[in-house]
Amino acid sequence: MGDRLILIGDVHGHYEGLCRLLDLLSPRVGDRLYFLGDLVDRGSSSASVVELVRQCSYGAVRGNHEDMMLLTFEGKQINAARLFAWCNSGGDATLASYTSTDLLWQHLDWLHTVPLYQDLGDVFVVHAGLHPCLPLEQQTRRECCWIREPFFTHPTPYFRDKTIVVGHTITFTFSGVEPGQLVRGTGWLGIETGAYHRRSGWLTALDWTNQWVYQVNVLYGGTRQGELTQFLVDLADFSCSTS
Overall number of domains in the chain = 1
Domain range spanning residue 174? 5-234
Domain annotation covers residue 92: yes
For the chain, give the mean pLDDT.
95
Domain annotation covers residue 192: yes
Residue 240 DSSP code = B
* Whole-prediction pTM: 0.95
Domain annotation covers residue 114: yes
The runs of H, that is alpha helices, within 89-159 are 92-96, 101-113, 141-146, 149-153
Domain annotation covers residue 240: no
Give 77's pLDDT tier (boundaries 50, 70, 90): confident
Domain annotation covers residue 239: no
- Sheet with 117-119, edge to edge strand ranges: 117-119, 123-126, 163-166, 188-190, 182-185, 232-234
201: pLDDT strictly greater than 90: yes
